[in-house]
Chain A
Amino acid sequence: MATVQEADAALLLLQDDLLGALTVYVIPETSPLLPQGVGVYIGKHRSAVMRGTQGPGDVLAAISARVQQIVQAMSFTTDSITTALSDRVPMDQLGTDTRRPFKSSLGYEITFSLLNPDPKSHDVHWDIEAAVNSYVQPFLDKLGSVANFSVDSQILYYAVLGVSPRFDKASSSFILSALSLPHVINPVEARLGSSATSLYPMLNFLLYVPERVHSPLYIQDKDGAAVGTNAFHSPRWGGIMVYNIDHPAPDKAPLPLRVDVDMVRVMEVFLAQLRLLFGISQVPLPEDFLLESPGNNGLTDWELDRLLWTRTVENIATVSTTLTSLAQLLDKIGNIVIKDDVASEVYHAVASAQTAMLELASGHLGSAFQASKEAVTSSERAFFDPSLLHLLYFPDDQKFAIYIPLFLPMAVPILLSLVKILREAKQSKKEPMKTD
């Protein structure tokens, strides 16, 4: 065994690779397998290799602190579960990163758009199909157990950003400051369109090629320094990257200038933004941890497990919220008719949620996630069923409109004479007392 990577790959064949499981291999402290200065190696799959301490006493107690750190890095923590429930917790208690990832959904639509506001000057071509197949599709295939994905792309012409950039004399370039970034997205969004055919949330990744008169265009962050990747992302929406083109001397090249987009650079940025938007973020690790890079898939197995843990918890919370609001609605409006299939969906949702919680307690992540997905589907189907809109055919205002004209004229004389009778009865009761 020369390197720890080869060891990890060989050990993978020995362990049974269950979702949510974690294997920690303890090697002697003096072993040359791990490089110098590295105490723990976290691999691509669900295993880690750590150095054992050579002291006297209970070996397990000695390494338990380290194992705790490994588990917190590779599996879920209290913070990550709180983040998953972030929509139900008041906002000031959490950090700013918690609202970034998309809410759990059964599917997502990803759209890559190339914005070319100046087709007279730039004839932009991008080989998006090949880029998606080689960079994005492996990542989405790995996430296939989490949700369904569909990928689209389009080219939009004459689509301008909502903000006109400032000219900076020092760098002789145009600048988009961090304060103006929130205003960029709104005018573009009208052109992007929503998906006509599905109800899944949409992630938009835009590649903007600035106009010839506004080239080169750089994005500045809050400190005034230009952002390295020239891109930014918006929570729960997507990302935008600005792609600058080198223009040759004006009279040399005829307009429009043919541009072939370097898809490697672009896909690096978009894939990083995609990871952030799904909540796959970096945890701070102690110094002597060595993290293996995810490889071609862009996602390690234990990162996928972390996503599944948080998603399962979020799904169960969603189910409970939905069913609770349905129950509250029925309490308020007693007239709503619940059909049999809606009732069976509610029962199924409750049963699936209970199964999911049981499976979570015993640690079976795969079946817990499937059960929580079924629970969410059933609860959404029950809550959004169109038949809930039909009230019973006797609304209150119709009752008033029909019965009051009949009974009010009849009731008034009767009530008045009743009042008179009561008054006379009271008087006659007083009379015998008086005369006596």
Chain B
Amino acid sequence: MAGVVAVVLGLLLLLGSPGGSTGPPRDSLREELLLSPLPSGDLAATFQFRARWDSELHREGVSHYRLFPKALGQLISKFLVRELHLSLTQGFWRTRTWGQPYLQAPAGAELWVWFQDSVTDVDKAWKELSNILSGTFCASLNFIDSTNTVTPTASFKPLGLANVTDHHLLRYAVLPREVVCTENLTPWKKLLPCGSKAGLAVLLKAERLFHTSYHSQAVHIRPICRDASCLSVSWELRQTLTVVFDAFSIGQGKRDWSLFKMFSRTVTEACPLASESKIYVDISSKTQENELLEVTPLPLSVHEASVQGDRRTYAVYDLLSPSLFNVSRSLNVQLKWKRPQDSLDLSTPVLHAQRYVSGYGLQTGEISTLIYNTHPYRAFPVILLETVPWYLRLYVHTLVITTKGKENKPSYIHYQPAQDRRRPHLLEMLIQLPANSVTKITIQFERALLKWTEYTPDPNHGFYVSPSVLSALVPSVIAMKPEDAEQSPLFTSLFPSSDGSSYFVRLYTEPLLVNLPTPDFSMPYNVICLTCTVVAVCYGSFYNLLTRTFHVEEPSSGGLAKRLANIIRKVRGVPPL
């Protein structure tokens, strides 16, 4: 083989070095981990890996990838995607006990995509894209079809740069029944340039990550401004992973946390490809006197930021600074509580919501949503998006919204009724929430009877209704000054902030589990048995009566039956035949 290659080499006449070429588009990687103790004693860890690529992904021809993964880059250029957000979540974020989340995701799988305006057939592209993503992430996203896809008009505005916002280019689907496990984590980790070999990703061990109350992994792709003047566009890929460690199952009741206790690993080095690699620990103290929380090893710097309307302090560990690993080769961040925590006041979040199904029987029911606004003096509007499957037939004339006993009319309603087996219900409303109030939204529905092949293999488990989405610009108590996206930590630049007086929040309610009238699936077997018996007994005996002939028979001596009968008679003590 080597000889053939040598001969062929002799035949090739190659050019000299090519003429001067422009360098490849620059790309950069930032990684960060945020540890925030929650008011209930649990600990939330949020990983963010952000790859930024200064390139135009939609040009024709060859594409060359370095830090941006090839699988996602090819998807974006083939399907002309402008924004893609996919999240896989297990568990539910309890806003009332844990506080406002940085980035919440609904239970199950959620996918929403903005396409470019040059796409001709958005539905076909959506179907192919969801099928390919299903293969890439080993999730059953191929169950996304027209019966669970909606086109929201007001709720999911683009999070990146956008000049055209025709909402027909947006598709949104949720699969509440989807389960997240290790086989979804592995392809997610494969997209990281350093894999799980170096940097913060070494902490991502599946057996610890799934031993949590809440596990959410997400992929967000969007175009952003390359610099302040915004003359050119870069692509940003953010991979986020949020887990909440339960104090009782992992900490055994003690509220001291450390990286080793949570992840059974410690950090030894930063990813060599990352331009920034930091660990932030939330050490905002609630009381003014002493600090409640002690962090070891001592942080080299402290960062103050106003996040979600609150001024918070963070201890920063910069993995790229050489002085961090001077003392020991591995970094194990430990949090110790100095005083018992029951004196901590739990500040209720400004906006939280709850949803439940009420009613009795298998014919009708009612969906109720309660939205709480705990701000003492400010009122703000919230957009509520509800997607209800077609087999729960909503009656919009029974929609009632009450606040503090009085009726509250929404200023914008968009309702798209369902079509059987084709399209779900879509209800979008803009509701004004007065200060310090509870708003109750109720709507009645009727349960439909499905065809017998449409039931799932476990129909008595129930059918899921996807979580409803609340999007709001919540007014903040303090003034927040807008910071430069490149300098600030990643968790502050998730949502674009318009001004300093309010921050954007997207909340999801619980998914609902509704029982539909279920037929008895053993009926075909019952019918067969019954028919068989009836025909055999009735018809058989009738036929015999009609066609039996009687004739005299000589008594025969012997035979197996006679001998068997004689044995039984001997046992009974009766004379034999």
Q: Which residues of A contact B (CB under 8 A)?
A: 111, 119-120, 127-135, 150-155, 157-158, 191, 193, 195-197, 221, 227-229, 231-233, 256, 264, 267-269, 271-273, 275-276, 281-282, 291, 293-296, 298, 401, 405-406, 408-410, 412-414, 417
A414 touches B63 (CB 8 A): no
The complex places the Cα of A90 from the Cα of B5 at a distance, in Å, of 28
Most B CB contacts (10 A, CB to CB) among A132, A151, A154, A232 go to A154
Whether, in the assembled complex, B230 has its beta carbon less than 8 Å from a beta carbon of chain A, the answer is: no
Whether, in the assembled complex, B479 has its beta carbon less than 8 Å from a beta carbon of chain A, the answer is: no
Nearest to B5 among chain A residues (CB) is A272
The complex places the Cα of A207 from the Cα of B4 at a distance, in Å, of 20
Given contacts A133-B18, A413-B543, A406 and B4 within 8 Å (CB-CB): no
Complex interface: chain B residues within 8 A of A295 (CB)? 13
B24 touches A129 (CB 8 A): yes
A197 touches B2 (CB 8 A): no
B12 touches A406 (CB 8 A): no
Given contacts A120-B272, A128-B64, A228 and B2 within 8 Å (CB-CB): yes
Whether, in the assembled complex, B70 has its beta carbon less than 8 Å from a beta carbon of chain A, the answer is: yes
A132 touches B8 (CB 8 A): no
The complex places the Cα of A109 from the Cα of B36 at a distance, in Å, of 46
Complex interface: chain B residues within 8 A of A401 (CB)? 528
Q: 1/0 per position for B7-33, CB-CB distance to A under 8 A? A: 111111111011001001000000000
Complex interface: chain B residues within 8 A of A229 (CB)? 2, 5-6, 9
Nearest to A118 among chain B residues (CB) is B272
B76-124 contacts to A (CB < 8 Å):
78
A154 touches B1 (CB 8 A): no
Nearest to A129 among chain B residues (CB) is B64
Whether, in the assembled complex, B164 has its beta carbon less than 8 Å from a beta carbon of chain A, the answer is: no
The complex places the Cα of A406 from the Cα of B530 at a distance, in Å, of 10
When the two chains form the complex, which single residue of A131, A193, A273 contacts B18, counting CB atoms closer than 8 Å?
A: A131
- Besides A128-B24, A153-B63, A295-B13, 20 new A-B residue pairs in contact (Cβ under 8 A), listed by A number: A119-B194, A129-B64, A133-B18, A134-B18, A153-B64, A157-B194, A157-B195, A193-B70, A196-B132, A221-B1, A231-B5, A264-B14, A271-B12, A272-B9, A276-B8, A293-B12, A406-B531, A409-B532, A409-B539, A413-B539
The complex places the Cα of A127 from the Cα of B539 at a distance, in Å, of 88
When the two chains form the complex, which single residue of A154, A275, A294 contacts B65, counting CB atoms closer than 8 Å?
A: A154
Nearest to B2 among chain A residues (CB) is A227
The complex places the Cα of A157 from the Cα of B531 at a distance, in Å, of 68
A293 touches B13 (CB 8 A): yes
Complex interface: chain A residues within 8 A of B75 (CB)? 196-197
Q: Which residues of B contact A (CB under 8 A)?
A: 1-2, 4-15, 17-18, 21, 24, 62-66, 70-71, 74-75, 78, 132, 135-136, 190, 193-195, 197-198, 269, 272-273, 528-529, 531-532, 535-536, 539-540, 543-544, 547
Interface SS of B by simple majority: helix
Given contacts A130-B21, A158-B194, A158-B195, A282 and B64 within 8 Å (CB-CB): no
CB of A257, distance to nearest CB on chain B (Å)? 12
Pairs A–B under 8 Å by Cβ, sample size 17: A119-B194, A129-B62, A133-B18, A152-B74, A157-B193, A157-B273, A191-B190, A196-B135, A197-B74, A228-B2, A229-B2, A231-B5, A267-B14, A268-B14, A405-B535, A413-B543, A417-B547
The complex places the Cα of A273 from the Cα of B272 at a distance, in Å, of 33
Complex interface: chain A residues within 8 A of B11 (CB)? 291, 293-294
The complex places the Cα of A99 from the Cα of B78 at a distance, in Å, of 33
CB of A280, distance to nearest CB on chain B (Å)? 9
The complex places the Cα of A412 from the Cα of B541 at a distance, in Å, of 12
Complex interface: chain B residues within 8 A of A410 (CB)? 535, 539
A154 touches B70 (CB 8 A): yes
Complex interface: chain A residues within 8 A of B24 (CB)? 127-129
Complex interface: chain A residues within 8 A of B21 (CB)? 127, 129-130
CB of B15, distance to nearest CB on chain A (Å)? 6
Q: Which 10 A-B pairs have the closest CB atoms?
A: A409-B536, A130-B21, A405-B532, A158-B197, A197-B78, A154-B65, A293-B11, A119-B272, A409-B535, A134-B18
A221 touches B540 (CB 8 A): no
Given contacts A221-B2, A405-B531, A405-B532, A282 and B8 within 8 Å (CB-CB): yes
A119 touches B12 (CB 8 A): no
B132 touches A130 (CB 8 A): no
CB of A64, distance to nearest CB on chain B (Å)? 28
A268 touches B4 (CB 8 A): no
B6 touches A228 (CB 8 A): yes
A268 touches B12 (CB 8 A): yes
CB of A177, distance to nearest CB on chain B (Å)? 15
Most B CB contacts (10 A, CB to CB) among A132, A153, A281, A401 go to A153
A154 touches B66 (CB 8 A): yes
Complex interface: chain B residues within 8 A of A129 (CB)? 21, 24, 62, 64
Complex interface: chain B residues within 8 A of A152 (CB)? 62-65, 70, 74
Nearest to A139 among chain B residues (CB) is B12
Nearest to B16 among chain A residues (CB) is A264
A414 touches B62 (CB 8 A): no
CB of B199, distance to nearest CB on chain A (Å)? 10
When the two chains form the complex, which single residue of A158, A193, A269, A272 contacts B71, counting CB atoms closer than 8 Å?
A: A193
The complex places the Cα of A417 from the Cα of B540 at a distance, in Å, of 12
The complex places the Cα of A390 from the Cα of B528 at a distance, in Å, of 26
Complex interface: chain B residues within 8 A of A406 (CB)? 531-532, 535
The complex places the Cα of A228 from the Cα of B10 at a distance, in Å, of 14
B15 touches A268 (CB 8 A): no
A158 touches B18 (CB 8 A): no
Given contacts A119-B272, A129-B64, A227-B2, A264 and B528 within 8 Å (CB-CB): no
CB of A160, distance to nearest CB on chain B (Å)? 10
Complex interface: chain A residues within 8 A of B15 (CB)? 134-135, 296
